[in-house]
Each structure stands twice: as structure tokens, then as C-alpha cells.
Homo-oligomer: A and B are copies of this chain.
């Protein structure tokens, strides 16, 4: 890419002042909502699960869904799980986030401050565990150990949405849409990194919605002016005119770099 003199903007480094990644957010929304949909499927007997209906019926309790992380992925998973009538527990260490969820979901979820004890307890009664702890630019912390997994109910399901950042469950590893799951300790593990690919129509619209405003601005003002006015966009420029412009990438590859502002 450098040889061809391409100017490249990476979705995952466009970042606004509050650390949000506006071009990845829509995919996180889709992934969070899909994670519950996937979990429902693998709870069915034909798919190897416990044979449990997530929503229950009158007289038969619903499934227990435990969501690790209250970010975009976790919150969207919760919206769906709550809507289905599941019994939902969410864990996080960000009190402001727990508070907002409590405001908006009106006591329909149980929010728990996350620590090893509360994670262990929640996982032990879960029918579904959704790993949704993502740290920007870092490996996801491993919250669920193999020992915890080994004590889960047989036929329960783990969906680890953070698998492409190392996973927040010790026993998850990346899988594919073709072979999405494997069993370990009699627990179904789902580790497809690109969940939104299952619903491309929705995902494409969602992604395009996010990207379009940047493209419009670049088209009308040119990249330089657009980036000067929008620091989020500026952070996205990884290479320009054949030169690396992202310090971290340069460091990773042992190459030199130059700030794009310093280029002609």
C-alpha cells in the first residue's frame, strides 16, 4: 500500500474526543443484538443446547442471561434479552454506565458491580453468558476462567463477542460462520469474530450510515481540510502519499513515520 502511494483511513482508528469509535459503533450494535439471537438458537436441542426457550412461558421460568460489560455491545444485547423476557444480569465496573442502564431499562435488568466473586456467582447460574468487555486498543481482560466454565450448567451457551480482541472467557477461541461452535466442559462456545456478517443487509446500512458523513465531507472539502476540522477523522489517517502517518503502526512494524499535518 505504501508503494502505491495510497492514502488510507482505518475505520478502527477514527476516534472522537471521548474515545468513541464512531465507525465501529454500528457494528457493535448489530453484534450485541445478534449475540442474543445466536444464543437462543444454540439453546435449542438440535443445536446441542439445554433445550430451553429463552423467554420461558407462563409457569416455566425464562433463561438466565449474564452479560459481561455494559458498553455498546452489552447494552444492545440487554435490550434484546429484556425484550424477550429473559432474566438478565449485567456486570460492569463503570458506575455511571450501570446507572444509565438502570434509568433506561427501568429495573428490568439486574446490574451488578463486576469483580471476580460476582462474575463467578453470575456465571454459575447462567444459561447464556455474553462476553462483551472490549477495551479500546487493548486485549480484552479474561473475566471468566476455565474453572468457572467447567462449573456451568451442561448445555449452556457462551457467546464471546470480544473474541477478536483475545476474548473475555478463558476457553473461547475464534470460530467461523461455517463452524461457529465447539463444546468444552459440555458448554457451547461461540466465537465468530464477525457476527454482523450474518445479517449483511442490516449491517451494510448501519455501516454506511456511519461512514457517509465522512465521505461527504471529504468529497466536498478535500481530505486535508476535512481532517483539520475533524480530529476524529484525522486520527483515522494511517498512511498518506506513500508514507506511514500512524505512530503506533510504525512502531509495530519498526518503520519510520511522519505526521500527516507535516506533509505537503
Contacts and interface: CB of A to CB of B under 8 A. Distances in A.
A58 to B, nearest CB: 4
Interface string A4-29: 00000000000000000010011001
A67 interface: no
Interface of A: 22, 25-26, 29-30, 33-34, 37, 40-41, 43-46, 50-62, 76, 79-80, 82-85, 87, 89, 93, 95, 98-99, 101-104, 106-108, 110-113, 115, 177, 197-203, 205-206, 209-210, 212-213
Given A40-B37, A82-B83, A209-B95, A201 B61 contact: no
A22 B199 CA distance: 39
A141 B58 CA distance: 22
A61 B110 contact: yes
A214 to B, nearest CB: 12
Given A107-B83, A108-B108, A33 B51 contact: no
B199 A44 contact: yes
Contacts of A43: 199
A84 B80 contact: yes
B98 A51 contact: no
Contacts of A80: 55, 84-85
A11 to B, nearest CB: 14
Contacts of A106: 85
The 5 closest A-B pairs by CB, nearest first: A83-B83, A85-B107, A113-B209, A59-B113, A51-B201
Given A55-B79, A83-B84, 19 more contacts: A29-B57, A29-B99, A30-B53, A33-B55, A34-B53, A37-B53, A44-B198, A45-B198, A46-B198, A51-B198, A56-B110, A56-B111, A59-B95, A59-B111, A60-B209, A85-B106, A95-B209, A107-B108, A108-B108
Nearest to A201: B51
Nearest to A93: B213
A112 B85 CA distance: 14
Contacts of A200: 45, 51
